[in-house]
Structure 1
Amino acid sequence: MEVTQPLVARAAMLIRRPPPDCYEAFVDPAITSKFWFSAGSDRLDAGRQVIWTWGMYGVSSTVDVKELVPGHRIVIDWDAGTEHASIVEWLFVPRAGGATFVDIRNHGFTGEPDKQVQQLVDSTDGFSLVVAGAKAWLEHGLKLRLVEDRHPDMLVEGWKPR
């Protein structure tokens, strides 16, 4: 198999909250942990490195924050320097009625073409759950546990959600 175009995983959805609220949900780990990871070491801030932890799976990732445009855009380098490194970009596009179109794009996959395609598929799957979970939390205050329930056989023994 030959990959001739850059691979970009994309997940997007309308969230009926204003862009600043949607943006804040992804930069503040106290909010993000309601629908994605279980803990973040700090808020996202340009030039800062943070650690995101998925306690339910016993894994963490290092994130280098490359760019923040409050209420509009987030760019991170995820797991820089590892075989899983990639760039993730969030766009927060204002829509009528105070809603936001949240558009998440992941690219820069490395390795053999088969591996890149698998990263693309996994990323699309994961970010689709993330944006759906964000919608449920931001619009209705519902904690759906989508990311946690995606791989129930991989949960850390004794894991208790908050």
Structure 2
Amino acid sequence: MSVVIETQMLIRKSINIVFNAFVDPLITQHFWFSASSGYLEEGKTVQWTWQKYNAVANVEVLNIKENQLIQIQWGEPKTQVDFIFEQISPMETYVRIKNSQIPLQGQALIDFIIDSTGGFTTVLDAAKIYLEHGLQSNLVEDKFPPFSNANF
């Protein structure tokens, strides 16, 4: 059985602004991670850091189609994540995040599904707040207690 986790959100900004917010770490750090080693570019591997949690993730960029798709592989275990961008109107973009190729079974798979669904939903919520209202909500930073060893 192939499991695909999906979260989604309408963001009331143009597709190029929303897409760029996920590619440009200087923007993304306002709603997701605290630091990045670089822009997302096809074929490149970057490192994302969440300083509060003392967590680091190596992110391999598999595919980029401007204003349409960002496809990465990351995590432990390694999984594929597709960020899909759809223009609804000139000032509305629908973003879907699909997490797939999850090499787990049983309770480990259930735990992963819960964590991934909640995590990517929080990212989309924070992105919406930042891009639509210019507010840094700290949703990702505040998701886990200070003593947490969050997995990214």
Aligned equivalents of 1:48, 1:23: Cα separation in 2: 17
Conservation of the 8 A alpha-carbon contact between 2:52 and 2:146 = no
Shift of 1:97: 4.5
Conservation of the 8 A alpha-carbon contact between 1:9 and 1:121 = no
Conservation of the 8 A alpha-carbon contact between 1:25 and 1:32 = yes
User: Quick one: percent identity of the two aligned structures?
Assistant: 37
Counterparts in 2 of 1:1-162, with a 5 A limit? 5-79=1-75, 83-154=76-147
Shift of 1:117: 1.8
Structure 1 gap segments, 5+ residues each: 157-162
Cross-structure match for 1:160: none
CA RMSD of aligned residues (A): 1.4
Q: TM-score normalised to the size of structure 2? A: 0.93
Q: Structure 1 stretches (4+) deviating beyond 4 angstroms? A: none
Task: Tell me the alpha carbon deviations over residues 108-143 of structure 1, each in whole angstroms, 9 at most, x when there is no partner.
Answer: 111332212211110000000000000000000011
Aligned equivalents of 1:154, 1:84: Cα separation in 2: 23
My pick for the range that moved more, 105-114 or 40-49, is 105-114
Aligned equivalents of 2:15, 2:62: Cα separation in 1: 20
Number of matched residues?
149
Aligned equivalents of 2:31, 2:136: Cα separation in 1: 6
- Compare CA radii of gyration and give the structure with the larger one: 1
Aligned equivalents of 1:75, 1:42: Cα separation in 2: 16
Conservation of the 8 A alpha-carbon contact between 2:53 and 2:146 = no
Aligned equivalents of 1:21, 1:96: Cα separation in 2: 13
Aligned equivalents of 1:53, 1:135: Cα separation in 2: 21
Structure 2 gap segments, 5+ residues each: none
